[in-house]
Amino acid sequence: MPRIDERSWKKIFELGNNGKYDDEAYAEILATVLNLRVEKGLTQRDVARISGLSTSMIS
């Protein structure tokens, strides 16, 4: 089952709470994408394959 590492959530939270509007918007997008990926049962490798991006770019 795909999961999201707790460190990822911490990084997103810190990014979204640093007082910069652009970072807040970026953090919201990241959280949405991560939630959708897990809801759909996709791994980072799956998303990389589907998108044509490398796994490291997805991570």
Enter the tokens of residue 13.
């939270």
In whole angstroms, give the CA distance from residue 30 to residue 5: 13
Q: What is the model's pLDDT at position 9?
A: 81
| Structural Rg of the chain based on CA atoms | 12
**CA-to-CA separations, 30 to 2, 13, 48, in angstroms, rounded:** 16, 10, 15
In whole angstroms, give the CA distance from residue 58 to residue 46: 10
Q: What is the model's pLDDT at position 39?
A: 92
pLDDT per 10-residue tile (average), the chain, 59 residues: 75 85 87 90 93 92
